[in-house]
Amino acid sequence: MDQTLQKMFKIEHFVVEGLHCPKCIREIEGTLSENTKIKNARVNLSTQRLAVEWRPDVDTSVEHSEEVISALEKIGFKAFPFNTSQIDKEGEKAARSLLYAMGVAGFASANIMLLSVSVWSGDDMNETTRTMMHWVSALIALPTAVFSGMPFYKSAWGALKGRRLNMDVPISLAVILTCAMSLFGTYMQTDHTYYDAVVMLLFFLLTGRYLDQKMRSHARSVAHNLMSYKVSKATLLHEDGNTEDIASEMLSPGQIVQVIPGGKIPADGIVISGISDVDTSLVTGETIPAKVEKDSEVFAGTINLNGTLNIKITATSGNTLLDEIIVLMETAEQGRAKYVKLADRAAAIYAPLVHILSLSTFLGWFLFSNIGWEASLINAIAVLIITCPCALGLAVPVVQVVASSRLFKSGVLVKAADGLERLAEVDTVIFDKTGTLTLGQPELANYDDEDVTPFNLELAASLAKTSSHPLCRALIVACHDRDIPTIATKSEIYEEPGMGLKATINDLEVRLGNREWCGIHASYLPNNRYSELWLSVKGAKPVLFCFKDRMRQDAHDVVGWFLRRKMKVIMLSGDRKDVVEEAAEELGLSRYKYSCKPQDKIEVIERMKANGDKILMIGDGLNDAPALRAAHVSISPSSASEISQNAADFIFQSQKLETVVRAYQVSVSSRKLVFMNFAMAAIYNIIAVPFAAAGLLTPLIAAIAMSLSSIVVTANALRLNFEKLYRSHEP
Amino acid sequence: MDGLIYLIPAALFLGLLGLAGFFWSINHNQYDDLEGASYRALFEEDDIAEELENKEKSNPKEEH
């Protein structure tokens, strides 16, 4: 439905990388305005997106969006097509209706306050005028209570139907009862009505809620942008040999795609021709590339390293790796739904307490005095009004807004609404290795070997310079680090896919590649621990270059930080024993598990959960996705696979792991602040309730008490901005 | 106190006017891009046209 609507208006959305300044807007909009097919192009700097509206006579198809992308590329911007998802739109709709409700409540509270102030200060006001003021207030307040209170009534009704209590139950009850009592009072021409308190309560609460919603939808949209950067095109190979670029989502089983070296494999499938190495680290956590040839199975998301592959797609039906992972994720999801939010837990204690207090006020007055049932009821409702959970309703959202925006500045996106609460409870941290503790990039490991001389490195680099293979690039990086010149040889270089490179230098044949390519027997320097490259020069001893995945700079510091706080830190990796053991030793970790399949990771988590451990899972690979869902709370780096990012509660954008510690610190402090806010709300109630129960409450006191408590709670939350956050030591 | 008969409706009318303005701004996506709009105010339409002309003159091949 939405898609047809989008087609009708012919608007296409793009995410643009690196939009910063006003000049970018001008350049992009100016350049696109020259295209005669485009009616209007508009850049949104806040969301980093571009909306292009095509002229009505242009028929929309993939080719046109290519035009926009290439036009932007010419002026130095990278753009990606962006699909607005259903979730995005629903979030936007929710934010908009909250904004409407807030606007109405704001209008109402300002106007009613004007009337109320004149009633409070007008001692000489006669009764008729006062009653008229009350009726005007009722005229404004009642429709407002119906319209602006709707979000609360709906949620309260939902909770009651499910036989639960949430914060919206006491809020709704207070709003409805206060309105009813004020209306009764207006009708009976009494002195006191509380219309101003009702609409002010709604206005405060809606403001808090709107900000909370806005912050989260902002984080989600940034996360969504990050994912768009990963959208990949697939090259479809037709039977007549022609190729066509189409979006990966458009692929269907049975089609044949061509994947060039360095390209991402777009879907699960079987190789029908070609030989290459495939980097599967994002899927299995395994660091050594796997060799594939005809009839090998390959998985979506893995990267083809050095040979062109033609792949017949098998995915979307049957038992693909992805299906298996999705099933695992769904099962894991069910375990988590039991979590009850802090605010709702507070409400479960608070609501019955307040209602009992109010009931005993009524009974107390009714049975032990002679003021009659009407006055007793009015006193009972006064208790409800003064205990109106304004501060309590704001306690959580305000803290969350401040915490999320603080984390946003540190590069952490808070995706889940209750993520911060859950993170604060954590006592066990589980790390994935490849791509999480490590950067997922190979680095030369055996530079201490006597064979790895600057001369050999330079010679190897002269061949490696031309290749885009990750190991070759790692070799070049290693040379740069040691100030060894990397100049490509002038002689012709021949590259054999899946094997290596060959060139003739000074009449000697030089080869750089795998063991087989260099003709080295398997028993010579056996190695199944590192990724390897061999350099062989005819007549000379072959040289072995070993590569291992590089640790993130501050992985050691961060692991140490958690260990010092007596938390259990565990590493679960899909990689082989030797590699995992070495990494554990480097990090000072005593608990780890190697060769883990996705099921194994879940099993470990479930077992620990059964022991009452609250687990934080940090992982990036597709194989981590079910574990991310199963854990109490989860964090992914922004380099993670799309499915993992969807599964995680937080995403961090930095190269450093220190952001994980920061997220934890902020969550712990915000939990402290939430409790402090609850405590303040309680103290305020303890002071105020006796007044109300004694029948001494006036509307002026109610209004002052409510605004004061809200301001105190908000100011308290802002203290989070002054908290000092962890910074890892530079190596 | 007779003045109130005019003053209260007048105050309410003005308030409603503000509310209507607020709704209009929500419906017309005025809050969608709070950053970009502040810069847009500084653009001169003429400048953009001029710049583009200059660009075309300097490398005419680039635009198709």
- For the domain made up of A2-84, give the CATH fold: Alpha-Beta Plaits (3.30.70)
CA distance A593 to A570: 8
Chain B residues closer than 8 Å to A136 by CB? 8, 12
Q: Give A715 or A65, the one with higher predicted confidence.
A: A715
Structurally, how many domains does chain B consist of?
1
Question: Are the C-beta atoms of residues A145 and A175 closer than 8 Å to each other?
Answer: yes
DSSP string, A402-459: HHHHHHHHTTEEE-STTHHHHHHT--EEEEEIIIIIEEEEEEE--TTSTT--HHHHHH
User: Whole-prediction pTM value?
Assistant: 0.78
Nearest C-alpha of chain A: how many angstroms from B59? 12
Q: Is residue B28 a part of any domain in this protein?
A: yes
Task: Of A151, A150, A170, give the one whose Cα is nearest residue A160.
Answer: A170
Q: Is residue B29 a part of any domain in this protein?
A: yes
Question: Does pLDDT of B62 surpass 60?
Answer: no
Pick the CATH number of A452-540 from 3.40.1110.10, 3.40.50.2300, 1.10.4080.10, 3.40.50.300: 3.40.1110.10
Nearest C-alpha of chain B: how many angstroms from A197? 19
CA distance A374 to A360: 15
Least confident of A30-34, A84-88, A423-427, A485-489: A84-88
Q: Chain A interface residues facing chain B, Cβ-Cβ under 8 Å?
A: 21-22, 25-26, 30, 34, 43-47, 74, 96, 99-100, 103-104, 107, 110-111, 114-115, 125-126, 129, 132, 136, 140
Give the H/E segment covering residue A325.
helix A321-336
Pairing mode, if any, of strands A568-572 and A428-432?
Answer: parallel
Q: Is residue B11 a part of any domain in this protein?
A: yes
What confidence score (pLDDT) does residue A141 get? 94
Question: Does pLDDT of A336 surpass 80?
Answer: no
Task: Of A387, A386, A361, A388, give the one whose Cα is nearest residue A376.
Answer: A361
Beta bridge partners, A277, equal A291
DSSP string, A698-716: -HHHHHHHHHHHHHHHHHH
Query: Average pLDDT of chain A?
Result: 82
Residue in A13, A20, A44 to test binding to B, most B beta-carbons within 10 Å: A44
Chain A residues closer than 8 Å to B42 by CB? 22
DSSP string, B12-61: HHHHHHHHHHHHHHHHTTTTS-HHHHHHHTT--HHHHHHHHHHHHHH-TT
Show the domain range for B29. Answer: 4-58
Query: Do A34 and B52 make contact, defined as CB atoms within 8 angstroms?
Result: yes
CA distance A712 to A714: 5
CA distance A492 to A505: 9
Question: Are the C-beta atoms of residues A634 and A649 closer than 8 Å to each other?
Answer: yes
Question: Are the C-beta atoms of residues A427 and A614 closer than 8 Å to each other?
Answer: yes
Dmax (CA) for chain A in angstroms is 117
Question: Are the C-beta atoms of residues A325 and A282 closer than 8 Å to each other?
Answer: no
A111 → closest Cβ in B12, B22, B43:
B12
Q: What is the pLDDT of residues A603-649, one digit of tens each?
A: 899 899 889 899 999 998 888 888 888 899 999 988 887 778 888 88
What confidence score (pLDDT) does residue B60 get? 46
Q: What is the pLDDT of residues A284-304, one digit of tens each?
A: 777 777 888 888 888 877 888
Q: What is the pLDDT of residues B30-61, one digit of tens each?
A: 877 777 777 777 776 666 566 666 655 555 44
On whether any CB of chain A is under 8 Å from the CB of B20, the answer is no
Least confident of A208-212, A437-441, A508-512: A437-441
What confidence score (pLDDT) does residue A317 get? 45
A432 is catalytic: yes
Question: Does pLDDT of A60 surpass 60?
Answer: no
Q: What is the pLDDT of residues A575-597, one digit of tens each?
A: 888 888 888 998 888 899 988 88
Q: Give A720 or A46, the one with higher predicted confidence.
A: A720
Q: What is the pLDDT of residues A95-127, one digit of tens each?
A: 888 999 999 999 999 999 988 888 888 777 788
> Could you tell me the two tokens for A399?
């803290």
CB atoms within 10 A of CB A692: 25
Query: Do B15 and A25 make contact, defined as CB atoms within 8 angstroms?
Result: no
Question: Does pLDDT of A730 surpass 60?
Answer: no
Chain A residues closer than 8 Å to B10 by CB? none
- Closest residue of A to B50, CA-based? A30
Q: Is residue B64 a part of any domain in this protein?
A: no
Residue B8, phi then psi, degrees to nearest 5: -65, -50
Query: Do B32 and A44 make contact, defined as CB atoms within 8 angstroms?
Result: yes
Q: What is the pLDDT of residues A686-715, one digit of tens each?
A: 888 888 888 887 777 887 887 888 888 889
- For the domain made up of A253-315, give the CATH fold: 2.70.150
Domain residue limits, chain A:
2-84, 89-223+338-400+670-722, 253-315, 410-439+551-667, 452-540
Question: Does pLDDT of A262 surpass 80?
Answer: no
**Annotated catalytic residue, options A196, A279, A344, A432:** A432
On whether any CB of chain A is under 8 Å from the CB of B16, the answer is yes
What lies within 8 Å, CB to CB, of A698 at 6+ separation is A192
Question: CA A339 → CA A217, A333, A343, A422, A429, distances in Å?
Answer: 22, 11, 12, 9, 19
User: Which ranges of A494-571 would DSSP assign to H, the alpha helix?
Assistant: 555-564
B33 → closest Cβ in A44, A100, A107:
A44
Interface predicted TM-score (ipTM):
0.74
Q: Is residue B44 a part of any domain in this protein?
A: yes
CATH code for the domain defined by A410-439+551-667: 3.40.50.1000
Least confident of A261-265, A502-506, A621-625: A261-265
Q: Is residue B63 a part of any domain in this protein?
A: no
What confidence score (pLDDT) does residue B30 get? 81
